[in-house]
Structure 1
Amino acid sequence: MNPRTILQFAAVTLIWGTTWIVIKFQLGTVNPSWSVSYRFLTGGLALLAWCALKGQPLTVPRRSLPFLFIFGLFQFVMNFNFVYRSELYIPSGIPAVAFALLMVPNAILAWAFLGRRISGRFALGAVLGILGVGLLFAQQLSLPGDRADTVLGLSLVVAGILSASIANVMQASPRALTFPALAGLGWAMLMGAGVNALLALAISGAPQFDPAPGYWLGFLYLGIFASAIAFALYFDLIRQMGPAEAAWTSVLIPILAMAISTVLEGFRWTPLAASGAALALTGMVVALRQPSRPAAGA
């Protein structure tokens, strides 16, 4: 990798590895749907500003708007409402590790709807990863406290993964190639922000806001860095390295997230939890590792 690629890879890993704990500190006096709305209003505007700065198109064809609306509904409404609410019940590191296995439903849905083949190596890695996350879930269920709350938190994580996976497969469909990628993402974020605002109005009434610096700095960080900048950098990484190589960020992100959760949330590392995390990360490495290529002339 050249120095630019290394910096982009490190930036994406650092940003997305820290989002989980920042989300935790968004929870409190403000309804999660308002927080999600603020995040993607900020992210969508920032992404369109990025496009303007780079001289890229700001508009998308009108015929693409229904597709972008459905994509935004799964990615920026359902996914993030499930994720934010899950962290009311479980430590932030657990969703981070579970979401690293997003590649598993992605591969299954891409096989079912796009006809993409699943390799034996990927299937083996997926099985190891699922077993590892299962051990982490078992560890969380074994802790003292309200088991019903824990089950709810873990169920919300699964729902978030499935929502995000549907959106990911939509992005990989031929229809997604008919409009500018970053502009489309920006408009999908803005539409998602609008739906989240309507949802928040229905659930909790008038807009809520926490003036504490930790809150508004948090949603600015999540909107500008985690939503706009990180997505733009990640798409550029895919163009430079390829999707398989860029996906290696998903191995490093949960390691960072779990380390932060250990320091700031007091996550308890039992042998069961450590085994689960190790097995999940091993599964990701196996699934993402490309088969070795024969040397020239061999």
Structure 2
Amino acid sequence: MPSRTTLLFLALCAIWGTTWIGIKAGVEAVPPLLFAGTRFTAAGLLLLGFAAWREGLPRLAWRDLPRLAATSLLMITLCYAALFWGVAHVDSGTAAVLEMSLTPIALMAFALWLREENFDRRRFGALLLGMAGLTILFGPTAVRNWSAAAGEGAAWRLAGAAAVSWAAVAYGWGSVVARPLLRLYSSTVVAGSTTLFGGLLLLAASLAGEPGAIRALAGQWGAAAWAGWLFLVLFGSLIGYTIYMTLLREIGATRAGTYAFVSPIIAVLLGMICFGEQVRLLDLLGMAVMLAGAGLAMAEPKARLKPATN
């Protein structure tokens, strides 16, 4: 029977593999930063309200507030602001390769740098497998789209690629910075605090400079956008983000971050089922390699047998 950790990991992959539907429905009708800011702010309020009902009012020590602020800024504000801006300037294939491959690398790099984890050759091999699978799955599309648009807005595409790359780095950095907080507070409190603070900053940035943001506050988004927003609040943030925080505490950033090798597979399969998108043999190969990488990362190392003594 799968362990609790494995079940949580699979649930996270399934949830975050479907959130792209809600994001796509939302950003087509609502300014992206406003959509993300309202989503995270609402999720943070609900999570903290649930934590207060279950555990009592959360009391955060003053000495932990700088770390909490850094986590919120990195994982929510700087990550999603850069990601949404970058995706607007590069094709989805390039964005997927950059963000999904760099996130696990950033998680491992910062975990080693901040001494939250030790180097593990097996997990490093798993990251290489996952990145290879991502390249097989999304690489041809990214190269084809990049070549087709060569010379047309190349500077903006490079800037967009850099923004998507930074989003992955910010998310990985924030995830590792958050782990000491998870030893002191529940996953619900940490998830609620970071989504609330980060969401408010996103919302402020949107209202300060995003075109159409103030007008969109009237809420005339349409049924599809509101359905996507509600799905992202309830599943993407309330459930998914809390599960991710739990995995960060229990298995570390490197292993938790391998969701990035499974969630894209779910997204591709949903595209095939819901929108009739074609899946080629090469795509299936890429998915198989990505699953192998995730499986290697999540597998518990076998205990070494002690030599028999006479």
TM-score normalised by the shorter chain: which range applies?
0.7 to 0.9
Which residue matches 1:45? 45
Question: Deviation at 1:263?
Answer: 3.8
Q: Distance in 2 between matches of 1:293 and 1:3?
A: 17
Structure 1 unmatched runs, 5+: none
Once the two structures are overlaid, the 10-residue window that deviates more, 44-53 or 287-296, is: 287-296
Q: Give 1:168 deviation, angstroms.
A: 0.8
Q: In the TM superposition, what is the alpha-carbon distance from 1:152 to its structure 2 partner?
A: 6.0
Cα deviation digits, residues 262-298 of structure 1 (max 9, x gap)? 3445655455544444333333333333322246887
User: TM-score, normalising length from structure 1?
Assistant: 0.81
Letter in 2 for 1:39: R
Alignment gaps of 5+ in structure 2: none
Cα RMSD after superposing both structures: 3.5
- Equivalent position to 1:161, from 168, 173, 189: 168
**Is residue 200 from structure 1 mapped to residue 206 from structure 2 by the alignment?**
yes
Post-superposition Cα deviations, 1:163-193, rounded to whole Å, max 9, x if no partner, equal 1101111012x46544454223312212112
Deviation at 1:218, TM superposition (A): 1.3
Amino acid at match of 2:143: L
Work out the CA distance in 2 between the residues paired with 1:31 and 1:178. 36
Instruction: Choose which of 253, 256, 267 in structure 2 pairs with 1:257.
Output: 267
Bigger Cα displacement from structure 2, 18-27 vs 32-41:
18-27
Letter in 2 for 1:137: G
Match of 1:122 in 2: 123
Per-residue CA distance 1:95-135 (angstroms, 9 max, x = gap): 39953763322111111222632111122222222233334
Query: Using a 3 Å threshold, how does the CA distance of structure 1 residues 125 and 12 change in structure 2: closer, same or farther?
Result: closer
Question: 1:211 & 1:265 partners in 2: Cα distance?
Answer: 22
Q: Which moved more, 1:92-101 or 1:266-275?
A: 92-101
Pick aligned residue for 2:238 from 228, 250, 257: 228
When residues 105 and 186 of structure 1 are mapped into structure 2, their CA distance, relative to the original with a 3 A threshold, is same
TM-score normalised according to structure 2 size: 0.78
Q: Which residue of 2 aligns with 1:95?
A: 96
- 1:38 is displaced (CA, Å) by 0.7
Note if contact 1:21-1:92 (Cα within 8 Å) is conserved in structure 2: no
Match of 1:146 among 136, 146, 149: 149
C-alpha contact 1:24 1:87 (8 A) present in aligned 2: no
User: For the residues of structure 2 that align with 1:11 and 1:272, how far apart are their CA atoms?
Assistant: 26
Aligned equivalent of 1:187, options 180, 193, 198:
193
**Contact between 1:43 and 1:189, CA under 8 Å: does it hold in 2?**
yes
Q: Offset of 1:45 from its aligned partner? A: 0.9
> Conserved in 1, the CA contact under 8 Å of 2:126 and 2:296?
yes
Q: Kindly indicate whether residue 109 of structure 2 is the aligned counterpart of residue 108 of structure 1.
A: yes
Distance change in 2, residues 1:69/1:234 (3 Å): closer
Contact 1:139 1:272 (8 Å CA) reproduced: no
Residue 207 to residue 182, structure 1, CA distance change in 2 (3 Å): farther
Q: 1:216 aligns with which of 222, 226, 250?
A: 226
- 1:233-272, CA deviations, whole angstroms, 9 ceiling, x for partnerless residues? 4455677x74588667555433211211334456554555
* Residues 251, 285 of structure 1: 8 Å contact kept: no
Match of 1:13 in 2: 13
Deviation at 1:150, TM superposition (A): 6.6
Looking at structure 2, the residues matched to 109 and 237 of structure 1 have their Cα atoms a distance apart, in angstroms, of: 16
User: Compared with structure 1, are the counterparts of its residues 36 and 116 closer, same or farther at alpha carbon in structure 2 (3 Å cutoff)?
Assistant: same
CA distance change for structure 1 residues 126 and 90 in 2, over 3 Å: closer, same or farther? same
- 1:292 corresponding residue in structure 2: 302
Q: Is the 8 A contact 1:47 1:229 kept in 2?
A: no
Q: Distance in 1 between the 2:255 and 2:32 partners?
A: 33
- Within 1, Cα distance between the matches of 2:124 and 2:11? 29
CA distance in 1, matches of 2:201, 2:47: 18
* 1:294–1:155 CA distance, 2 compared to 1 (3 A): same
| Residue 43 of structure 1: how far off its partner (Å) | 0.8
Query: Which stretch has the larger CA shift, 37-46 or 222-231?
Result: 222-231
Distance, in Å, in 2 between the alignment partners of 1:10 and 1:122 is: 18
Is this contact kept in 2: 1:96–1:254, CA < 8 A?
no
Tell whether the 8 Å contact from 1:18 to 1:257 is kept in structure 2 after alignment.
yes
Partner deviation per Cα, 1:178-227 (whole Å, 9 max, x = no partner):
44542233122121122112211223252514431111121122122211
